[in-house]
Amino acid sequence: GAVVSQHPSRVICKSGTSVKIECRSLDFQATTMFWYRQFPKKSLMLMATSNEGSKATYEQGVEKDKFLINHASLTLSTLTVTSAHPEDSSFYICSASRSLERSYNEQFFGPGTRLTVL
Amino acid sequence: AQKITQTQPGMFVQEKEAVTLDCTYDTSDQSYGLFWYKQPSSGEMIFLIYQGSYDEQNATEGRYSLNFQKARKSANLVISASQLGDSAMYFCAMRGGASKIIFGSGTRLSIRP
């Protein structure tokens, strides 16, 4: 099966610093990657859709300048939380699909990254 | 606009019993897909089962089956012969025309020995 990794799995940072989270598809090329945010005991909220080589599409209410997404290759997308604050503390999950047309049942999730901002 | 509703925040079930997790959805898309994911305490999202809107038969995957009632816009997950390892959060999700997947609020399932 397809494997998606995330790095780091946990990160603790000071308020005001920036944090980069990587999402990699290990054994397939991901034309589309999705970034989700999950608060404790809550559902996954889609933040943005990232297509390789183009700008990410952000969901309503998600600050583009706060959450920078780069999808520079078919196996790597990064989410950078800029000038992080305690309210940015959350569980961030990425998912990847092989192609837009086949993403019906081929979206593979990473293990998530737990961000804690002090 | 698309919407997924899970009305059961938590459920307790005796081991070996069957359990049904409810999910209703709303969409204006003619073509869509419905998913169920399991999220254990470790946080990983585990894909369980998928149902396409044009699939005539209900999807089944081992102990999991999806009771798809298109007219009622419901896609309930049935787990047969529940096991202790089934204790987790379960999310119903839908993919519409924009390819993105939206999730319901989840149901926390606890299996009693």
pLDDT at B6 over 90: yes
pLDDT at B76 over 90: yes
**A69-97 mean pLDDT:** 93
Q: According to the model, what pLDDT value does residue A40 have?
A: 86
Pair B101, A106: CB distance under 8 Å: no
Of B43, B45, B100, the CB nearest to A46: B100
Pairing of strands A44-51, A32-38: antiparallel
pLDDT at A98 over 80: no
Smallest Cα distance from A50 to chain B, Å: 11
Q: According to the model, what pLDDT value does residue A15 have?
A: 97
End-to-end CA distance of chain B, in Å?
41
**B14-27 mean pLDDT:** 97
Smallest Cα distance from A63 to chain B, Å: 18
Contacts of A108 in chain B (CB under 8 A): 47
Give the number of other CB atoms < 10 A from CB of residue A44. Answer: 26
Q: According to the model, what pLDDT value does residue A103 have?
A: 45
> To the nearest 5 percent, what fractions of chain A are helix, strand and coil?
5, 50, 45
Q: Using only C-alpha atoms, what is the Rg of chain B?
A: 13
pLDDT at A100 over 70: no
